[in-house]
Amino acid sequence: MTVLVTGGAGFIGSNFVLDWFARGGGPVVNLDKLTYAGNPANLEGLTGNAAHVFVHGDICDRDLVRRLLEQHAPRAIVHFAAESHVDRSILGPSEFVQTNVVGTFGLLEETRTWWEKRAPSERADFRFLHVSTDEVFGSLGPHDPPFSESTPVAPNSPYAASKAAADHLVRAYHHTYGLPTLTVNCSNNYGPYQFPEKLIPLMILNGLTRKPLPVYGDGGNVRDWLYVQDHCAAIRQVLARGRVGESYNVGGNNQKTNLEVVNAICALLDEARPNRKSPHSTLISFVKDRPGHDHRYAMDSTKISSQIGWKSAESFDSGLRKTVAWYLDNPDWVAHVTSGAYRHWIEKNYAMRGEA
Ligand code: NAD
Ligand code: DAU
């Protein structure tokens, strides 16, 4: 009853694998290339667990994928592996096309070839669950209704376009070949183990070290925040009960402007590391905007809640408090991920931004 997880050393993937075992889930083969975003330290809690097989490799390596399918005969694939950061996709889109489009295609094609040779009952029980994003739907105006599963796809960044391309391939593999696929399109996640190039961990760590808090544009862009373990629960539930060939939107029902999020982080840091003369919000610095910056995302989760019964457990206030506490409690993890290549990225991304 093995599950093949791709990208399980990244932020959401590692939370998923840890939660999976914490809930008594069966064996996992975890295929991860360990890019800058993949971190074996996220999985330290599984050391000595023989049911977790970590494979350091690339989803684009089709021979490897073929071997893993034949060797482990998984009952499902949960596909997280991707290049995931919008700003990196703007500065260098080719890796995004390679992993997110070509890699997903190779994974689908190897899976189809293997799956077609299985016995009918195994074919029927198999699932390919693709983890995608709300960004494929483009950007909402201030008064638009949230994205639903029938919202037309309109990606705006190279990252979003590469994820939309992957979503289309997944859909086509179900429609054409009958591969039992499922897709989850989720809003912005936050929580433990998130690489600090993304808004929330970046602001927590910059605040802790009293560096500027770089808010793009006027800070009015809106995201719909979901605690990562709520996303993992949605994935488990869709895997168990989702209708094959369908997609499910997942959101936190927590629409916040970036400035609201940064101010909430500052308030928590003021509690943890008080400095009455200079509260953390004095570090906020408005910088040059992201090109093509999507104004607003919001997800309508009606389908997953009415069809499958999923709902989020964590409020934004409680989830953010836990997240700030996690970064404060894990200085070794932080020191490891913020050394070396991370510093080059920060210099590259923010040097060109300056003050707005
Ligand atoms: P992440 O960047 O933290 O992790 C990605 C993982 O994939 C890393 O461990 C990396 O080493 C691995 N990887 C990258 N290229 C690979 C390749 N070619 N072969 C094998 N492994 C490879 O990303 P995340 O934030 O955990 O996102 C996981 C998935 O969820 C992505 O598909 C992303 O598009 C999607 N998603 C993310 C969010 C979010 O807010 N972070 C929201 C919705 C959907
Ligand atoms: O919506 C889901 C998506 O959320 C996922 O598919 C992506 O993988 C994930 O990276 C995330 O994309 P965003 O671009 O929304 O996340 P990011 O954390 O990069 O930025 C969140 C918002 O904060 C966005 O409006 C840009 C802004 N921002 C970001 C950074 C890094 C800043 O203002 N300053 C910053 O330094």
Domain assignment present for residue 342? The answer is no
Give pLDDT < 70 ranges for the chain.
Answer: 355-356
Domain coverage including residue 51? 3-190+227-254+297-315
Please give the share of the chain, as a percent, with pLDDT higher than 70.
Answer: 99
pLDDT at 355: 58
Is residue 38 domain-resident? yes
For residues 181 and 293, what is the distance between their CA atoms, to the nearest angstrom? 31
130-180: pLDDT as tens digits: 999 999 999 999 999 999 999 999 999 999 999 999 999 999 999 999 999
Write out pLDDT tens, residues 223-264: 999 999 999 999 999 999 999 999 999 999 999 999 999 999
Distances (CA, A) of 252 to 199, 229, 306, 326: 16, 11, 15, 20
Q: What is the pLDDT of residue 280?
A: 98
Task: Verify whether ligand 1 is closer than 6 Å to residue 131 (CB atom).
Answer: yes
**Per-residue pLDDT, 179:** 98
Closest atom of ligand 2 to CA, residue 135? 1
Q: Any idea what the CATH number is for the domain that residue 73 is in?
A: 3.40.50.720
Report angle CA 172, 177, 181 to the nearest 5 degrees. Answer: 60
35 lines ligand 1 (CB under 6 A): yes
Q: What is the pLDDT of residue 65?
A: 98
How far apart are the CA of 82 and the centre of ligand 1, in A? 4
Number of domains in the chain: 1
DSSP string computed for 229-288: HHHHHHHHHHHHHPPTT-EEEE--S-EEEHHHHHHHHHHHHHHHS--TTS-GGGGEEEEP
Substitution candidate for ligand 1 out of 80, 110, 137, 187 with most atoms within 8 A of CB: 80
Q: Which residues contact 92 (CB under 8 A, 6 or more apart)?
A: none
Q: What tokens were used for 47? A: 């050391």
Rounded Cα distance, 178 and 116, in Å: 10
Q: Residue 191 and residue 200: Cα distance in Å, rounded?
A: 9
- Distance of CA 227 to CAs 207, 252, 313, Å? 21, 8, 9
* pLDDT for res 354: 76
Does residue 136 line the site of ligand 1, with CB under 6 A? no
Domain assignment present for residue 328? The answer is no
- Is residue 169 a part of any domain in this protein? yes
Query: Within a domain: residue 85?
Result: yes
Distance between CA atoms of residues 246 and 233, nearest Å: 18
Q: In this structure, is residue 46 part of a structural domain?
A: yes
10 pocket-lining for ligand 1 (C-beta < 6 Å): yes
The per-residue pLDDT for 340 is 81
Q: Is residue 130 part of a domain?
A: yes
* Alpha carbon of 263 to ligand 1 centroid (Å): 27
- pLDDT of 180 reads 98
Alpha-carbon distances, residue 242 vs 181, 235, 238, 274, 326 (angstroms):
9, 9, 4, 47, 32
Percent of the chain whose predicted confidence (pLDDT) is above 90: 96
- Give the integer Cα–Cα distance in Å for 263 and 310: 30
123 belongs to a structural domain: yes
> How confident is the model at residue 250, as a pLDDT?
98
- Ligand 2 atom showing the smallest separation from residue 216 Cα: 33
**Angle between helices 316-329 and 258-272 in degrees, nearest 10:** 50
CA of residue 284 to ligand 1 center, whole Å: 28
* Binding site membership of 85 for ligand 2 (Cβ less than 6 Å): yes
